[in-house]
Chain A
Amino acid sequence: MPIIDLANPTRFLRFAERALPWLAGLTLLAFAAGLNLTLGAPDDYQQGATVKIMFIHVPSAWLGMGIWALMTIAALGTLVWRHPLADVAAKAAAPVGAAFTLLCLVTGSLWGRPMWGAYWVWDARLTSVLVLFLMYLGVMALWRTVDDPARAGRAAAILTLVGAINLPIIKFSVDWWNTLHQPASVLRLAGPSIHPSILIPLLAMTLAFVLLFLALHLAAMRNEILRRRVRSLMMMQAQTAPGSGS
């Protein structure tokens, strides 16, 4: 089945029904493997066992940023190509992205308490992730305030695109403002500076998190399509009900 067929919501629903159990099973397997590898990873010579927080913290940070990128592509799909599922994908992704960003903030805060001596410090990375979280909440608020899904979709798409332009600028300005957090140590041109005994469990956990996101996203998209169908059925019913005047 070519991917273009999935643009039809009915075909997409059928695909989601078939794919979801497999995806959920794969997610469970990946988490089992990833957590197992994590347990085998050595403790840090300075940070002790708290370094294990990283295996949740870092993948959720990556996903928090990656999901906004996905929403940006979906926003282009809504505005440029008028793809019928693009705004469904964008709407379903926003709460999941917000949840991963919050997870990143909470785990970072719990990690920061023993390491930096405070739950929260106004450091560049923390602050820009916090702003990212606020932008997720803004998009979700916009989705909830506009009644008509199609119009809400286009408004949220514009906000997402503006955010995609602004987030690097915010990142840059916050970096300029203050830096305490360690610089990037995995995604570098010179190759990762982390020892493989930590890197491999980290990548395994990242894979598990990505699978979890895909499963949640697919389920949320399915729910959103069904919710819109219920909405239009109820509107049709209201129009044909006795006493509605038409």
Chain B
Amino acid sequence: MTALAALFVRDVRLAIRVGGGGGIGVLFFLIVVTLMPFAIGPDLALLGRIGPAILWLGALLASLLTLDRLLAMDQEDGSLDLMLTGRSPLELAVAAKALAHWLTTGLPLVIAAPLLGLFLNLDLGSSGAVALTLLAGTPALTFIGLIGAALSVTLRRGGLLLAVLVMPLTVPVLIFGVAASNAALVGPLPFGTPFTILCALTLISIVVGTFAAATALRHGME
């Protein structure tokens, strides 16, 4: 267990000290949200209505953007080979890495969301609801992305392919994330129904993503 904890702490430290991870993701998120009114128009009523959708789309794109950092650097410097031959199960090792990745790239997006909600004419309560759905949903995005990162880790031209492979799989998370946010905003549906399904999607993604990524790494690196 200590090996996994060490791996987790190492990844968090690397992400915080080296830079280019979570901070850039939040910056990208901010830019996407800033660009939206230029495309849609400065109509505050309209922005308020589609605000949750914009926030979710921005968070989805931002989390896609940071995915290639998840495994690629460990592959370059050889630490991925150590994990493959190490004593702790590969499934748990990639889960620890994905958790550290979410903590340093996913969680900043969740924290930034209420602030960006102000730009989109969302009041504090609705911004909080969107942030809550992002908190429940972004782990799913990370763990689905983990599969794509593991599949494309040894490829030289993997970056764009990763996004193409991952994005169709994120459709359910996007649907229920936005549905839960809208349910909190305008109803008529109770917030709990789509929100619990979103949580279920996250749990499924953690299980499927971990095992699929470990299998992909075992087959891809041999």
Contacting residue for A137 out of B164, B171, B208, B219, CB 8 A: B164
Contacting residue for B157 out of A138, A145, A159, A169, CB 8 A: A145
Looking at the assembled complex, report how far the CB atom of A126 sits from the nearest CB atom of chain B, in whole angstroms: 13
Interface string of B147-184 (1 = CB under 8 A from A): 10001100101100100110111011001100100000
Instruction: List the B residue with the shortest CB-CB distance to A155.
Output: B151
Q: Do B157 and A151 have beta carbons less than 8 Å apart?
A: no
- Whether A154 touches B158, Cβ cut-off 8 Å, given contacts A141-B164, A173-B171, A173-B172, is no
List residues of chain B with CB within 8 A of the CB of A134.
167-168
Contacting residue for A142 out of B165, B167, B169, B172, CB 8 A: B165
Is B201 located at the chain interface by the 8 A CB criterion? yes
Contacting residue for B220 out of A79, A154, A162, A169, CB 8 A: A154
Q: Do A155 and B168 have beta carbons less than 8 Å apart?
A: no
Instruction: List the B residue with the shortest CB-CB distance to A136.
Output: B168
Residue from B151, B176, B179, B197 having most chain A Cβ neighbours under 10 A:
B151
For window 113-147 of A, CB contacts with B under 8 Å fall at 131, 134-135, 137-138, 141-142, 145-146
Q: Do A131 and B171 have beta carbons less than 8 Å apart?
A: yes
- Whether A131 touches B220, Cβ cut-off 8 Å, given contacts A158-B215, A173-B175, A177-B179, is no
Instruction: List the B residue with the shortest CB-CB distance to A172.
Output: B172
For window 188-222 of B, CB contacts with A under 8 Å fall at 197, 201, 204, 208, 212, 215-216, 219-220
Number of interface residues of A (CB under 8 A): 27
Question: In the docked arrangement, what's the CA distance between A177 and B161, Å?
Answer: 27
Q: Do B220 and A151 have beta carbons less than 8 Å apart?
A: yes
- Whether A135 touches B168, Cβ cut-off 8 Å, given contacts A151-B220, A155-B216, A169-B204, is yes
Overall SS of chain A's interface: helix
Is A166 located at the chain interface by the 8 A CB criterion? yes
List residues of chain B with CB within 8 A of the CB of A45.
none
Question: In the docked arrangement, what's the CA distance between A79 and B190, Å?
Answer: 43
Question: In the docked arrangement, what's the CA distance between A174 and B215, Å?
Answer: 29
Looking at the assembled complex, report how far the CB atom of A142 sits from the nearest CB atom of chain B, in whole angstroms: 7
Interface string of A154-167 (1 = CB under 8 A from B): 11001101110110
Instruction: List the B residue with the shortest CB-CB distance to A162.
Output: B212
Instruction: List the B residue with the shortest CB-CB distance to A137.
Output: B164
Q: Do B220 and A155 have beta carbons less than 8 Å apart?
A: yes
Q: Do A151 and B208 have beta carbons less than 8 Å apart?
A: no
Is A81 located at the chain interface by the 8 A CB criterion? no
Question: In the docked arrangement, what's the CA distance between A159 and B137, Å?
Answer: 21
List residues of chain A with CB within 8 A of the CB of B212.
158, 161-162
Looking at the assembled complex, report how far the CB atom of B124 sits from the nearest CB atom of chain A, in whole angstroms: 28
- Whether A141 touches B171, Cβ cut-off 8 Å, given contacts A162-B147, A173-B176, is no
Question: In the docked arrangement, what's the CA distance between A137 and B167, Å?
Answer: 12
List residues of chain B with CB within 8 A of the CB of A141.
161, 164-165
List B residues at the A interface (Cβ < 8 Å). Answer: 147, 151-152, 155, 157-158, 161, 164-165, 167-169, 171-172, 175-176, 179, 197, 201, 204, 208, 212, 215-216, 219-220
Further 7 A-B residue pairs, CB within 8 A, beyond A163-B169, A166-B172, A170-B172: A142-B161, A151-B219, A158-B215, A162-B212, A172-B172, A173-B176, A176-B176
Ordered nearest first, which 9 A-B pairs have the shortest CB separation? Answer: A173-B172, A154-B219, A134-B168, A173-B175, A138-B165, A158-B216, A177-B175, A155-B151, A135-B168
